[in-house]
Structures are given as C-alpha cells and as structure tokens.
Structure 1
Amino acid sequence: MSPLVSVDDLAAEISSGAPVRLLDVRWRLDRAEGRPDYLSGHLPGAVYVDLERELAQPGLPELGRHPLPDRAGLEAAVRRWGVLAGDRLVAYDDNDGVAAARAWWLLRRHGLDVRVLDGGFRAWVASGRRLERSDRAAIPGDIGLPEGVGGLADVDDAAVAPRRGVLLDVRAPQHYRGQVGGIDPVAGHIPGAVNLPTVTHIAPDGLLRSPAEIRAALAAVGVDRDTEVVITCSSGIASAHTALAFAVAGYPNARVFPGSWSQWSRDRGRPVATGASPAAAIGVV
C-alpha cells in the first residue's frame, strides 16, 4: 500500500465511515508551535499533534535537537489523540509533508497503519472542502504500542555508512557545504555524505513526485533499490521525508539517523567535512 493518500481518496474514506484518525502535524523550523494555525482552521475531526513534545523527546541535547520519544511517552501521546486499535491514521501539515513524514515514519515503526496526505493542508483547501475552526479534545484511546522496529540508524552507523553504502545528507546545499552557520556548534557535513536535498522530491504543486522521478533523482547520487542507505539531515525531520520518498519509490533499504547533524556536531572528536564534495576539507568537532 502506498504511504500516501490523495485528498479525493481521503474524503471518500471519511464519507464511507472508515475508522480514519486525522493528525494535524503543522510544524516548521521557524515556527515550531503549530497550534495557532490548527485553531484557525483544520481538517474536520483532526487532532493537533505537537512535533516538539510528542514526536520528539526534549531535554536530551546529546542526542540532537529532536531525539525520538521513548515507547511509553509516544504511547501516551497516541492515546491522547484518541487512537483505537484498527484506526487508520493520516498525518498532514502545511509544509510539503516534511513534518507529517516524521509522524508517518515514527508511528509506522511502532506498528500503526499510517499514511501522509499528499499535498497536505494546502491541497485540502485548494479542493474546496470544508474546514473546522475549533479545538478538538479527543476521547482518550486505549491502544498499546510495541517497541519500534526497523528503519533506524545511530551515530556510529552514520560514521560507517559511506563504506557500506550511501550516507545521504538531505539538507539544503548551503548547510551541507558549511556555508551557513546555524544553531548547531559547527557547520558542515559528515565526511563521505552525498547531498540530495529532500525538496528535490517535492513537485511545484506541493505533491510528492512520482516513483519514477524519485528513482531518477536517487540514481544520480548512486542509489538504487539494493543500496544500503542512511539518511541524515539537521535533526531527523527532513530525513523522515526522504524516507517517505524512498517508500514511494519502492526502495526498502533506507534508515534514518534521528540525531543527524545536531547530534554529530555535539559529539566531541567527530570529523567534519566542508565544501561541495563528500570529503572536501576535513576538521574535527
């Protein structure tokens, strides 16, 4: 089954009475609190999901800026959203699916049936369908989550990934090259990483590109269906979006490094590369 659902197909599922639970995951780096946008208008029945506090675990800077929540914390959040056994989850945002993909990748690891609304909030609005403009507190669910399985890489996996396959850095080129300083201690990339920004997979209309287009973009950086890939970004959010693109393309061997650059750059003694090539100029954190 595709990890994406179109606006038309989602509307049809809702109309049919299917057990669909909508997750509003509006978040972006420059406006992390998405609840005001949620209150101003959201898909009918959607509950707000706080990426910073529910899809990440604050207070662990040594693991990066958005470390994964533990199973118990995520289970408590999922129950707050009102999720019941058998529910089909659909996550959306207003940022080309980047934040929604974090929910998709994380919840899928814990066995939930979850998809991303292709085109997100903007596509729903463009279709002329109605919005809801009030807060919604769900009746708590009672679902139990198993431990997460698969799709995960740690900092040491990232270090050896270029020798075993491809380490794919999906940040914007200026961040990959170390040309722009951010909120992390140093700028640059993990030596050996190749750069393919996740926005490459987003079409001008905000929909994800076709499987053939995604496969062509991956082939240009040496990735095919059998390549072992570790995906890294700034703090594990954009990486999940590229993992979504891999799933659409039918490529199964991609793992996400959640700590990404925000963890690597805080780990003393790790090498740092700058410039346009995988190992152009190397220093040490």
Structure 2
Amino acid sequence: MSTTYTVDSATSRATPTPKPMKRVTIPAIKARKGDPEAEPLVMLTAYTVRTAQLLDPHCDILLVGDSLGQVIYGLPSTLPVSLDMMCAHGAAVSRGSYHAAVVVDMPFGSYEASPVHAFESASRILADTGAAAVKLEGGAAMADTVRFLSERGIPVMGHVGLTPQAVNTLGGYGARGRSGAEYDKIVGDAEAVAQAGAFAVVVEGVVETLADTIVGTLDVPVIGIGASARCDGQVLVTEDMLGLFERTPRFVKRYGNMAETMTEAVERYAADVRSRAFPSADEIYKPKS
C-alpha cells in the first residue's frame, strides 16, 4: 500500500503531508500469524516527523525505539531515556505517519516497579502520542504486567532475548541462547509474554535455532532482529540500515551509505560558501522593480 502525498505550501518547509488512510491495526498484525499467505511484517524505527513520512508507505509498523537515546541524543545506552523523550518523539512519529501502526518503547524505569506503575506510564504514552501500542522488555518476570495492561485495553508488544535495558545484568550485547539453560529460559520468556496477551514478540540477538523454535511455538507474530529469516517479520534501527554510523551490529545489512552522502554534500556546501559561489543569483531575493 502506498501513500499519496500533497504539499502544504503554508509551512516554511512545504512539508509533504500524506492523505489520511486506514492504518494497520493491532488485530491485523496479530492475524498475520494465522495467515499462510501473509507476507512478513516490515518494521523500522522512527523518531521524527520527516523520517516517519518517508518510512510510512513501506512499513507495517513504525517503532519509536528507546534506541533514540543513542541515535538521537548520543547517550551511552538506552538506560537514561525518559518517558518525556519517548512521548515527544512518539507524538512526532504519529503526526508523520498515516499507514503504519506506531509502537512506542516504554523506557527503563517506567514499568518495572508494578503493573499499576506500568499502566500509568503506558496510558500516558498512548494519550500523549496517539500511538497504537507500547513495547516493553522482559520475559516471565513481566508476564503479569503484560496481562494487566492487555486486559485494560493497552496493546503490548513483548521483547525477549537480548534486552538492551538489561545490558548491565547481561554483561554486554553478545548473542543470547548459546547455552542450553539460557536457550530454554528465553523460549519460556517468549511463551510467558505471549500467553499473557502480547500481540507480537520481538526476539533480539539470539542464535538462529532459538529464534526458529520460538517462531514455531508462539501463536502471535515473532519479529526478529538478529534472529532468523523465518521470523514473522523483521525490524532494524533505520539509521543502522541506512549506513549513518561507522560501525553497525553484525545482524544489520546496510541498504545505503547515508553518512558518505551527507559528508559529500556538506563538503560541497562548505567549498561553495568559502569560494562565495553560494548563494548564487538563484538563491537570493531581488528588489521589486
């Protein structure tokens, strides 16, 4: 499904605005699991209006990830990301999209204390952003929270395997599930959040066989990131996929080299400014005769 754009010339940037259309719904995403003809779900991260506008026609889900801590704010991890940050960027992405379902990460510290605390945070996210759902990390320990939210009308996407908010406990960002005990625990975690009501589960940074086991076990879509091509969908951090960083995780395929493109454009601009080639007659205002 594509999006038709119109140009609103009243704004300073003449921002292309998609004509409203029916969004992908949470029940439609969940139903993909039972449809043998369904294509894999396409999911990418988005943090700004303009990025959302460009990604929206091609994605089923836009994830406002807490990865914005590193990508946008230059933080060392996702742990310092606040609820205010997530709400601000979630609202921007919702304004910039009309097709994809928008899912917003619940940041560290906004849901772990209790199901009631999680509901307060999640209800604020949905109210402030217009998003369709929230995502939270954790397995069996978070099952009661997932159930509490789901039963109260808040769709929840789970996240198991390599969970970045638990990086201090995990001891780093290495692939999970290499030992038998960890393998079984992650399978159990995925089952627990799915049975508690999660409409989909992200499985990150696990050995391929573990991801395949989870895909075959759950009755909701499994979205992989560093997992398996047999997952029911895939997600990547958009900036990684576009090649905006010098280093990307092993599981990322670069579909562009935007860092090089931007660098070359800025070099040309700087040269034109220094040589007074910019602005030229085409970029300046003339007095009316």
Q: The TM-score by the shorter chain falls in which range?
A: under 0.3
Structure ID, larger Rg: 2
TM-score of the pair, normalised by structure 1: 0.25
**More helix, by proportion:** 2
Q: Which has the higher contact order (CA 8 A, sep 6+)?
A: 1
TM-score of the pair, normalised by structure 2: 0.25
